[in-house]
Chain A
Amino acid sequence: MRRCARVGEVMAIRTKPDPQSYTFDGFGSGRYPNLMLRGAGELENWQLRTYEQKHEGYVALRKALKMEPSAVTAEVKTSGIRGRGGAGFPTGLKWTFMPKDIEDRKLTRYVVCNADEGEPGTFKDRAIMEYNPHQLIEGLVIAGWAMGCKLGFIYVRGEFKWLVDKLDAALQQAREAGYLGRDILGSGFDFDILTYRGAGAYICGEETALLNSLEGRRGEPRVKPPFPAVKGAFGQPTTVNNVETLAAMPPILRMGGDEYAKLGTPGNTGTRIFGLSGHVKRPGLYELPLGLPLDFILNDLGGGSSTGRKIKAIIPGGASAPMWDASAFDCPMDFDTVKARGSMAGSGGIIAMDESTCMVQATLRLLRFYAHESCGQCTPCREGCNWVTKILTRIEAGQGREEDLPLLESLVPRINMRTLCPLGDAACGPLESALRLFRPEFEHHIRQKTCLVTGTPLLASLGAH
C-alpha cells in the first residue's frame, strides 16, 4: 500500500536470530587491518581456543594485570580512543572520573558494557559479540582492573537472545580458564561479569536509562548530574562503555597506546566499524581507520548505488545523525570533521538513500521511531515527537497545510537541547536536516498533494500507515 515504497528497504536491516542469514556481504574492507572483526564471519571463531590460538587471546589481559591500574588507564588515554557508542567521548578520560577514595567511602564500583545497540542503521556490536565475544570479555576485565571494579555487566539488547546465550557460554569458558572470577591469572584480582537482557526499548541504550533498567526499574533516563561515575548502577560509581569501545582495549594494550594512536588521524585515532546499509551494492560492516572520506566507503567499498540511481542522501552516523545531501560526500569520516559539517559520526551506521527515496516518508519513518521510543518522561520529547509525527503523517497523507512547515520548523528549536536526555535532540537531527535539504519535497506534498519523487497522488494513502 505504500506509495514511496523504496524507503522500506533502506531501513530494513532486521535482526534475525540466525547468524548465518546476515543479509550483507562481508566483514571488513580487506584493505585495512581488522582489530575487532578478526575472524568475523567464521561461526566457530567465538570459541576460547580460537581466540587464544589465532587472535592473541587474553595476552593483553596478562599484560594489563602486571601493570598498575592507573598505568592501564594512562595507556588508554595515550591511545586517544573515543567512545564508539555515539557521543565520542575520550574513554581514558572517562575512566579517570571514577572516584579514587572508594575504600574510605565503602563504595563498590561497576563497569557496564552497553550492548543495547538499538540505533537504526547500526549493527556492529552484534558482530563483535557473535564472532569475538572473548575480545569483549577481555576488554571488560581490563576495564574492571583499571577502574578497580569487582563486577561488570553486559546489558544486551532484548532481541539478541541468542547472543546472550553465546556470551554466557564464552563467560563460562573464560571463568574455567581463569580469566574471570576469583584471583584472575594469579594476580589476586577478583572480577566477574553478568549478562542482562533488555526488554526491547531503544531508550535503554542511553546510559542512565540502561542503569535504571539494569536495576529493575522503568527504563527512563536519569537527570545528569550526578553522572554515572559518581552515582551509577545501584547508586555506586559506574562507567558505561560501548561494546566496540571495550573490544578495542585488548589491541590497545597489546600494541601500546602510542602505536594505536598512529591509526586514524590525530584526535580521531584508531579504527572503528562502519555499518553500511541502504542503496549500495555491498552493504556490510567495514572496520576502517578514522578519517577516510565517505566517498571511499560508499563507492570503493560499498560499490556505489545498488539501483543505478544516484545516491541522494546519506545518514552518516546512525538514525540520530542529521542527513547529508551529495555535497557532503567528500567528508572524512571522523568525529570532528563530521560534526563540523553539521552532522555526527555517532555510532558509525551509514545509511544511503537513492533518488527514488521520498524524503517526506523517510523523515516520517525516522520520527515515528523516535515518537515510539521516547520514554515519555519529559514534555518536549514526548509531545514534541508526537506532534512532529502527526504533522508529517498528515503531510504524507496529502492533508498537509501551508502552516505546517513553519510549525515544524518552530518546533525544532524548542525540542532541541531542551529535553532531559539526548533522544529529543536525536529526533531533531533528521527532521531539521530533511526540512533544510529537501524542503521542495515537503512543499510539493503539501501543495500538489502528490509525491515529488514518485509522482504518486497522496490522498488515497490515508490510513496506509
Chain B
Amino acid sequence: MKENTEKGNTVLVNIDGREVAATVGSSLLDAALAAGIHIPHICHDPRLTPTGACRLCLVEIEGERGFQTSCTRTVAQGMKVRTQTEGVRASRKNTLELLLSEHCVDCLTCDKDGDCLLQDYSYEYQADKARFPNVAPAAGEPNYTTESFALEYDPSKCVRCQKCVRYCQEVQMAEAITMANRGGSIEVSTGIGISLNESSCELCGGCVNVCPTSALYDKQAKGLGRSKDLKKVRTTCTYCGVGCQMDFNVNPKTNRIVRVTSEVGCIPNNGSLCVKGKYAFDFVHSPERLTTPLIKENGEFREATWDEALALVGKRMTEIRDQHGPDAIAFLSSSRCTNEENYLMQKLARTAGRTNNIDQCATTCHGPSVAGLGESLGSGAMTNAIVEIEDVQTLFLIGANPTEAHPIVGLAMKKALRKGAKLVVCDPRDTWMAKRADIHIKHKPGTDNMLINAMMGYIIEKNLHDPKFVEERCENYPAFLENLKGYTIEKAAEECGVPAHLIREAAEMYAKGTPSSIFYTLGITEHSCGTNNVRNLANLAMLTGQIGKRSSGINPLRGQNNVQGACDMGAMHMALSGYQKVTDPAVRAKFEAAWGVTLPTNVGGRVTDFMEHAGEGKLKAFYCFGEDPIRSEPNSTKLAEDMAKIDFLVSQEIFMTETAKLADVILPATCFAEKDGTFANTERRIQRVRKAVDAPGQARPDWQIISQVATAMGYPMSYNDPGEIYDEMAALSPNFAGINYERIDKVGIQWPCPTKEHPGTPFLHAGRFTRGLGLFQAIPHTPPVEVPDAEYPMILSTGRTLFNYNIANMTRKTAAIEHKQPENFVEVHRDDAAAIGIKNGDMVKVETRRGSLVVKAHVARKVRPGMIWMAFHHEESNTNLLTNDAFDTTTRTGEYKACSARISKP
C-alpha cells in the first residue's frame, strides 16, 4: 500500500479500538495490515482485484449485519471494525478446518514448510485437521504441469484461492490458466486441459510466486531445501534493463540457488518477474562455467595459475602499448557487469592502458539514444520512472516490444491499459501491444522519420502543438519547421505503407494525451539513421510539450541490465564517469589529480571501430570483458576473421564464448550471483547486487581481476570491496555524489542525485532541459543502407523474444526455456510463404549477401508482407551471419533492423 498521509487523502478507521489512518480507496485489510493489525488472508494480493473467496479475513463492522470480508471492503471515515471477536475467530477456525480437509497435510516433507499461509494460520487458530476426515485429491495424477520443466501443480496442496489464475489473467494478462470443474472438484488447469508448455503461458512464474501453499512450486526447486532452511538474498536481475528486485532463495548447506522469488511492494517490479528473472539462473551452477585461468599455447588452451595468467596479460598488454602506441590496444567493458567494474575497466584503460579506446555494448544498442537525446535534451537517459507508466494516458510505442524485451515495463503498460490508457503502436510486427493498440501503424522497417515528420507536420497544421513550450524552452525551431515541408501525410502513407488516416489519428492521439509518453527501443536505434530517429522523437516530444512532467517524456528502454550504468561509469570513448567529457581539460585535471596519471586527450574508438581496426591490422591487443562480439555484432563471419588478426586477445568471461575461443588468455570471472556491487537500471535507478553463493573453482570477482591486471600493467590498484570503488567514483562524479550503499540498501535511487540529502530524480527536464534549451533539429528521411532489389527482394529485421536473452548463452541453460523455444525460426507473412510454397512449421532457407541459414518458418500475418523477422538467440543458427554491418553515422550502431534478404525452399 502506498504511504500517503496527506490531509484529505486519508480517513480514520477504528480497528479493534485503535484509530488507524488509511488511504482513501484502500481496502480495510490493507489498512489493517499496514497498521500492523494482523488478519488472516489467503486469497488476497494487493495487485489483484479482491474476490473475497477464502473467507478468512472476515471481520465485524459496527452497524452491519453478519460478517464482512475485509479484503473487499474499502475504508470509510469513522468505520468501527472488530477483527478478533469470538464469532469471527470461530468462523476462521472452521474455514481452516475445511481447508485442511481437502489438503494433503504433510509439512514434514513439504518444500513450503516455513513459508506457508495455511500452516501459519492453522497453527495460530489451532485448527483440527481431524475434524473433517481428509478428502484431498490424490497427488501424482497427471495434470497440465506434468510435462512442464518450470512448475509443478499439486492439487492435493491447493487451497483454491485462485490467486494464480487471477495473477495470470489480471497482471500478466497471459490468460494461460483457469479453474476447471466446480464445487469440491475445482482445480487449476489450462483452458482446455492442454499442457502448460503448449498454452499461452509466458513462464513468468507469477502463479508460483503468489501461491500461498506448495500447490504451485518451481519444479527444479523441489527437494532442494525447505523454505525455512533457505536464506533470501535480495539482488537485482542480470537480464534486461528494468532492474527487477528479486530474492535468491539460497540453501547455504549446498551453496545453491534453489529458486527465485520477489516481494510484493518492491520497486520497480512490485513482486513480478519475467521468465528470465524467475527461471534463467541455472547458468550460475552450470558445469560449463569457466573455473580456472586458461592460456593458449600452440592453439590449445591449458590451465594456468592466476599469477601466471595475470603476469602474461600485464606483460603483453604493456609491451604492445609501448611498442605500437596506446591506441593499438582497446578495452571492451561489459554492460552486464556492475558499475564498480565498469568504472574500474575504464580506469584501467585510461590509466594503465593510457588510451580512451574503451567501449561497451551500448554502441550495439542505445548508442544513438545516448548521443541523440544527449544532443537534443542534454541527457541520454530515460526521462521518466517506471512507476509513472501506469498513469500515462496515451502510450506511444515505436520500435519497442516491451512485453517481450522489457516484460516488467510491459506489465506497467498493461496496468495503464487497465486504467484506461490509449495506446498507439508503430511497429512492423503484430506484437502483444500492437494487437491491443487503439492505433497500430504497421509501417515498413526504416521509414520512421517519414512517419514522425508527417505526424509533426499534421500536429502543427491542426494546432495541436504547444507553442508556449516551444517558444520558452526550445531553440532552432525555424530550421526544423522548414524541413517538415517536404513531408506530407500522403507521402508518408505511401512510403510507410500504411493508411493516411491512421497517421493522422496517431498524431492526434499523441498530441492530445494528458499526458502522453514515448517509449522506444532498438527498432529506433538499430538503423543507419538511428541517431536521427532518436533526435526526431525528441522533436516530437518537445513540439507537443509532452516532456518534463510526471508520466510524460521520452523513454528509451535500455536493453541490458547495466547498459545505463556502463555509460554512466564512463566506459565510453569520449566521457569519464558521469558523462564528463575527456576533451574537457578541467575534467581531466580532476581525474588526473585523483588517479595520479596523465590522461590521454584524444577521443577513443568504439567497438565497431575496434573491429575495423582489427581487420586493418591496426589493433594489436584487445581486452574483452563479459562480451561476445562475434555473436552479437552484425556480419559475424567477417568479424571473426578480423578478430583473428589481433595479436593478443584477453577474454574475461564466465563461459567459453565464441570470442573466448579466439583468446590468448581467458580469465574466469564470477557472475552477478557471486559478487557485490550495483547496477543502474533503465530509469537511472542505482540498485544493489548482492553475493548469494560462492563462485565456482578459482573464478574471481571482476573488480578484483581488473585491479590485478592494472597492477600487473604497472598501475597499482587495490580495493577492499566494491563499496570503496563506488565511493571513489561518486566523489568524482556529481550526478552520483549523493548515493552510497547505505542509502540504497532497501530501495534504489534515481540519479541525478548530487548530495546526500537529495531524494533522487524520478523524471528529468522539469522546468528546464539538462541542456538548457531543447534543441530542435531538421531530420531528413534516409532509407536503410541496403534496400530490397530484384536479387534480395525482402527486408530482414531481427530482435529479441521473451524467452531468451540476447545470445542466450545464459538463458538457454534453463530446461524450461529450451522446452519453450528450442530452435531458431523466421517469421514469414503467409502470402510470401504461399508464394514459395511453404507452410507453417516447414524449414525455409534465408539468405542475405553475407550468409544463409535454414530455419523453421513461423507462417502467419505477424509481419508485413515482404518482410521477415528473426531472433538471434541460437548459437547453432546464428542470425547475425545474415545481418548487415552497415552503421549509424553518428554512433556506429549496427543496422540490425533492416537488410535485404530472400527466402526459398531449402
Contacts and interface: CB of A to CB of B under 8 A. Distances in A.
A414 B90 contact: yes
Given A223-B72, A419-B55, A382 B183 contact: yes
Interface in A372-410: 372-380, 382-387, 390, 407, 410
A465 to B, nearest CB: 15
B53 A383 contact: no
Interface in B52-72: 52-56, 58, 66-67, 69, 72
B536 to A, nearest CB: 34
Given A387-B101, A419-B55, A376 B185 contact: yes
A386 B52 contact: no
The 6 closest A-B pairs by CB, nearest first: A376-B186, A383-B98, A386-B184, A414-B94, A223-B52, A374-B183
User: Which of A218, A383, A419 is packed against the most chain B CB atoms within 10 Å?
Assistant: A383
Interface of B: 50-56, 58, 66-67, 69, 72, 90-91, 94-95, 98-99, 101-102, 131-132, 135, 159-160, 162, 178-179, 181-186
A391 to B, nearest CB: 9
A385 B183 contact: yes
A371 interface: yes
B96 to A, nearest CB: 9
Contact of B67 (A378, A383, A385, A418): A418
A376 B51 contact: no
User: Which of A201, A223, A379, A420 is packed against the most chain B CB atoms within 10 Å?
Assistant: A379
B23 to A, nearest CB: 18
Interface size class of A (residues with CB under 8 A): 20 to 34
Contacts of A201: 182
A376 B182 contact: yes
Given A382-B160, A387-B132, A390-B135, A418 B183 contact: no
A380 B185 contact: no
Contact of A386 (B58, B72, B131, B135): B135
Contact of B184 (A223, A383, A411, A420): A383
Contact of B183 (A373, A411, A420): A373
A375 B67 CA distance: 21
A378 B179 contact: no
Given A379-B99, A382-B160, A218 B51 contact: no
Interface string A415-454: 0011110000000000000000000000000000000000
Contacts of B185: 376
Nearest to A374: B183
A376 B91 contact: no
Contacts of A411: 94
Given A375-B182, A383-B98, A386-B184, 9 more contacts: A222-B51, A375-B186, A376-B184, A377-B51, A378-B55, A379-B53, A386-B183, A410-B94, A418-B55
A428 to B, nearest CB: 13
Interface in A355-377: 371-377
B67 A376 contact: no
A384 B52 contact: no
Nearest to A384: B98
B95 A371 contact: no
A379 B54 contact: yes
20 contacts: A218-B178, A223-B50, A223-B69, A374-B182, A375-B182, A376-B181, A376-B182, A376-B184, A377-B53, A379-B160, A380-B55, A382-B184, A382-B186, A383-B184, A384-B98, A410-B94, A414-B91, A414-B94, A418-B55, A418-B66
B179 A218 contact: yes
A394 to B, nearest CB: 10
A410 B91 CA distance: 11
User: Which of A380, A385, A411 is packed against the most chain B CB atoms within 10 Å?
Assistant: A380
Contacts of B131: 407
B796 to A, nearest CB: 39
A222 B159 CA distance: 19
Contacts of A383: 98-99, 101-102, 132, 184
A36 to B, nearest CB: 33
B98 A420 contact: no
A376 B155 CA distance: 14
A345 B95 CA distance: 30
Contacts of B183: 371-376, 382, 385-386
Nearest to B50: A223
A375 B185 CA distance: 10
